[in-house]
Structure 1
Amino acid sequence: MKTIYLVSSLFLLLFSFTLKAELWTVEKRVNPKYPLKAIKSNIEGCVKLQFFINSDGIPQYIEPIKSSAGIFEAPAVKALSNWRYKPTESNDNKLPQRQTVVLSFSMSPDVDFNNTCDAQMTVESNDIDLFKQHRLSMPIDATSFLSLQKSIAKIITVLSDDELPHFMQSYSALLSKQSSLNKEDNGALLNAINGLDYFQFIALANVEHVANNALPNSGNENESNDPIANAEQFPLIDIEEFIHTWEISDLPISMDSELYDEISYRLLDVELLINEDGTAKLLDTCRAVSKEIKNALEESIAEWKITKKVTSTNTVRFIFSVPAPREDGAYVDCDADWRY
């Protein structure tokens, strides 16, 4: 109880910059979520991240370069991805800039981490386009699976939303090959990958790249081309990926108050189809609901026009928790065979 009280009453997030934002200043700052496991273990710490501010003022290519505890890295990256910057008077052309920031997680006001997370940016280009080019042309270190994973993480940092799924499919395909090898040959794939760059890695995997929003053709000419009917063909993404891609501050659901009464205690999750243009459609509800509720959901969701945060987007599926007034003891009530 004492630890939780400290978090709720004394929780501070301390931010310090190792580079002054000569070209950009912070316009919107989002605090990272303190990991529950760290709270229970009374762990405090910090993370130093390197990143670019692109011409739209959005942090891009975010990477931890030093942390006092790995548990803080994911929430730090997630929080920084939601920060927004505005150009200074000297940056009329909105030139991208590479920066670092330290995010500190503390449950008391007087914690001083000193140089715990002191680290220099990696020695790479300060030009955002060249940075990506250099990353994708770097030789992959596959002398071990650990070094391979580190190389993969560096590549993933700079991939676009269109490039990432294809790369991960390629990576999965190569890992599947590895798992099918005999024990005595378990280093064969690593040897084949070691020293390749991103493009050579993709070619080795030989996984066909399906364009945005394209549905696999089963060969059945009578198969429906309706996205709703073929919804299972689209990936089901998690909340972290959804927040990274779309601005979700205003996704209203409008229905009569008596309908809200039906979902204020037994909370409702629904499956949505999010089209690449930001429109959405209701696919399914996690349990049977009245026709009136379903109609209200469909009408509200059909009016959404979600703003994208990234240049290119794909059609995806997403589990959405319907906002409603919550009664004491409210819980999410879904059928046993629901998506989870």
Structure 2
Amino acid sequence: MRNLHSNGNLDSDEGEATEDKSHQNGSEDSVILGLDGGATSTVCVCVPFFPYGDRLPEPLPILGRAVAGCTNSNSVGETAARDSLEQVISEALVQSGSEKSDVRGVCLGVSGVNHPSDQEKIEKWIRDMFPSHVKVYVQNDAIVALASGTMGKLHGCVLIAGTGCIAYGFDEDGREARASGAGPILGDWGSGYGIAAQALTAVIRAHDGRGPQTMLTSTILKALGLSSADELIGWTYADPSWARIAALVPQVVSCAEAGDEISDKILVEAAEDLALSVKAVVKRLGLCGEDGTASFPVVMVGGVLNANRNWDIGKEVSKRINQYFPGAETIIPKVEPAVGAALLAMNFLTS
């Protein structure tokens, strides 16, 4: 933003020179954009740029926050993904009273970034939206979720369990490892989609006599406004989107809390699968040390893990992780992943 003289008049040349200098050295007008692109929506936050990353205030001031649609092009296509990206960035900047020229860096964590070509494509989208001085970082959404629990430091493991699920980790040398995150067809069974899909399968099995009767039948049919399990087949295939299926997880948890054995078994198996994903990452990176007792953070993010229900999936996962690794410190982040992305950008810029 250009500076005003005391008389209120804008000197264009001097203002632009000041602007250029501020982008090089940091100023009170400089901002960072952090974005979290999940399977259902994208959140963008605008925060002030602090040139000394180790002196960040807590809580980090949020100047603007906006929400738009999914930015995973694998789910919604490139046009819709890019449109959502432009929308959410514009709205966050408007809320903050900032211009694109005020931005020092943009960090986007998005689901579906599993290959350098994915990264390069999205980086180009963002670079095309901003002046050339703006630094752009594109990561998998798991990485910014980790940063949300470690104040932007990339060390330890993150477990995300929402519509989808993934475990991702870094050791102190920067080596990376992941487990799960390959989507529902390839077996993300601890995810919201995986839990709900197994519940729907249990209802159909009970209906046609291949499986035991379950409370899930009446509970799910009531939630969907259907009168019979036969109608469930049409409902499922009318729009088999991952998020639409995953939205049935609360019904599974309610049935498990009411004593339904089928629902309880589904949730137990989900907790075990999620803990195994963390175990695979920790073992591959040696985060637990040679004797298996070293301390390291495990950041836990997502609606499946943080539902605050009596049947607490997150608590069950934590219990299993600590059985594997006594030194593991499970962390529920105090900030959302979009803020983690902003912290990550801040650390990249100040390191």
Q: TM-score range by the shorter chain?
A: under 0.3
- Identify the structure with bigger relative contact order (alpha carbons < 8 Å, sequence gap 6+): 2
* TM-score normalized by the length of structure 2: 0.24
